[in-house]
């Protein structure tokens, strides 16, 4: 499949990149690793007259800022994140999630910022449209939705980043640059939940860095990605959990449970989180919470998996994830080591 023609620009700084973008308007698109963009340009899901390549920019090394936040450059590749000893020590679930994206060839190119801005996915959208589906869907400026023909005029594709749920569970913030200046947004507010316009990122803005607050270093975290094959796949369901467990009675003072790959944005289970706060997590509570999460989170059937099956996956993997958090130290198996034998 050939790539359509485009103009190619290579800015040498992030500021120059956003200036170029505002000069060229919506016809220009930023490209970091291109592992999501190039296939989507090939199949026509994304159209661009100009490609602004960030390949000449180098990523700042991840580091702890003065207030103890972990700062990551948006251009850091997923391989670098998966292998970084600082990230493994301060945000192990982030390293774990990066390790489970695509295959090593993808991780060597794909950037963190690109992963957070990746295109939505659905069985109909991410393939060549030249020989089938004559009528374009809403996402492609058409007038129908193939998976949900009667669902109203909206796109019900799924946002499948593995990194976003983890960053939400850690309470991360995104630093966004535009030609007039910089703004900081909580990653939770970065996603709209609208399949047609999934990000609050303007057409002339770019993510420059990700900040993970120091509070997250105190959190007990876990990440699970449920896939049928165990490698090179988008998740059926992903679950990121993070709890702050305080005091001698080991009561939970803060909880975040985030479910990814089941809707147009990563979803938090707010009610279930409230039910953990103030309690000591044990097996019986984990079972109850997992059921609550599966009830609370609105699951869209996707890629051939039924709603009932996905709800069951949410329940099972939330339970496993919570139980992993209360395993005594030493026994704590990370997701990474669990599925090494797959």
Partner 1 sequence: MKQALELKINGETHDLLLTPNVTLLEAIRDHVGLWGTKAGCGMGTCGACTVLLEEKPILSCITLAVECHGKEITTIEGLSEGVALSSLQEAFVRAGAVQCGYCSPGMILSGTALLRKNPRPTVADIKKALEGNLCRCTGYNTIIDAVLDAGTASSPQLDQGEKK
The number of residues in the chain equals 342
CB 324 within 8 Å of CB 222: yes
According to DSSP, residue 217 is labeled G
| 22 vs 108, beta carbon nearer partner 1 | 108
Distance in Å, CB of 306 to partner 1, minimum: 24
| 4 vs 308, beta carbon nearer partner 1 | 4
Distance in Å, CB of 3 to partner 1, minimum: 4
Distance in Å, CB of 47 to partner 1, minimum: 13
Task: Give the C-alpha separation, 273 to 188, whole Å.
Answer: 15
Q: What 3-state class would DSSP assign to 221?
A: strand
Task: Give the C-alpha separation, 326 to 340, whole Å.
Answer: 22
Phi, psi of 227 (to 5 degrees): -135, 155
| 38 vs 64, beta carbon nearer partner 1 | 38
| 82 vs 170, beta carbon nearer partner 1 | 82
The footprint of partner 1 (CB under 8 A) covers 1-8, 34-35, 38-39, 42-43, 51, 53, 55, 79, 102-106, 108-109, 230-232, 340-342
Distance in Å, CB of 232 to partner 1, minimum: 5
Distance in Å, CB of 41 to partner 1, minimum: 8
Q: In Å, how far are 29, 40, 181, 201 from 205, measured between CA atoms?
A: 10, 20, 10, 6
| 109 vs 332, beta carbon nearer partner 1 | 109
Task: Give the C-alpha separation, 7 to 3, whole Å.
Answer: 12
Q: In Å, how far are 67, 230, 328 from 94, measured between CA atoms?
A: 20, 18, 21
Listed in order, strand segments (DSSP E) in 46-122 are 50-53, 63-64, 70-73
Distance in Å, CB of 194 to partner 1, minimum: 26
| 284 vs 342, beta carbon nearer partner 1 | 342
Task: Give the C-alpha separation, 93 to 265, whole Å.
Answer: 19
CB 107 within 8 Å of CB 69: no
């Amino acid at each position: 499949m050939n790539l359509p023609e485009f103009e190619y620009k290579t800015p040498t700084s992030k500021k120059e990149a956003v200036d170029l973008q505002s000069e060229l308007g919506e016809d220009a698109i930023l490209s970091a690793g291109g592992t999501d963009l190039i296939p989507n340009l090939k199949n026509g899901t994304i159209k661009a007259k100009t490609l602004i390549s960030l390949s000449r920019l180098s990523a700042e090394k991840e580091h702890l800022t003065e207030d103890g936040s972990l700062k990551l450059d948006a251009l850091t590749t997923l391989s670098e994140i998966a292998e970084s000893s600082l990230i493994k020590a301060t945000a192990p679930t982030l390293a774990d999630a990066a390790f489970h994206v695509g295959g090593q060839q993808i991780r060597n190119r794909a950037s963190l910022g690109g992963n957070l801005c990746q295109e939505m996915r659905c069985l109909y959208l991410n393939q060549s449209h030249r020989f089938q589906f004559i009528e374009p869907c809403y996402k492609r400026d058409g007038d129908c939705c193939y998976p949900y023909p009667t669902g109203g005029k909206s796109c019900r594709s799924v946002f499948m980043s593995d990194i976003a749920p983890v960053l939400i569970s850690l309470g991360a913030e995104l630093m966004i640059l535009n030609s007039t200046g910089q703004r900081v947004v909580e990653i939770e507010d970065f996603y709209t939940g609208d399949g047609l316009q999934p990000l609050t990122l303007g057409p002339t803005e770019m993510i420059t860095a990700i900040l993970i607050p120091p509070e997250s270093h105190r959190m007990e975290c876990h990440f699970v990605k449920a896939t049928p094959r165990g490698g090179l796949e988008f998740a059926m369901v992903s679950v990121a959990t993070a709890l702050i467990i305080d005091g001698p009675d080991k009561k939970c003072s803060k909880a975040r449970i985030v479910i990814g790959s089941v809707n147009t944005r990563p979803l938090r289970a707010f009610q279930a989180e409230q039910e953990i706060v103030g309690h000591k997590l044990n097996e019986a509570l984990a079972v109850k919470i997992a059921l609550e999460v599966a009830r609370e989170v609105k699951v869209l059937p996707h890629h051939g998996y039924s709603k009932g099956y996905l709800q069951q996956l949410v329940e099972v993997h939330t339970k496993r994830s919570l139980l992993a958090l209360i395993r005594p130290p030493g026994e704590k198996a990370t997701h990474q080591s669990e599925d090494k034998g797959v």
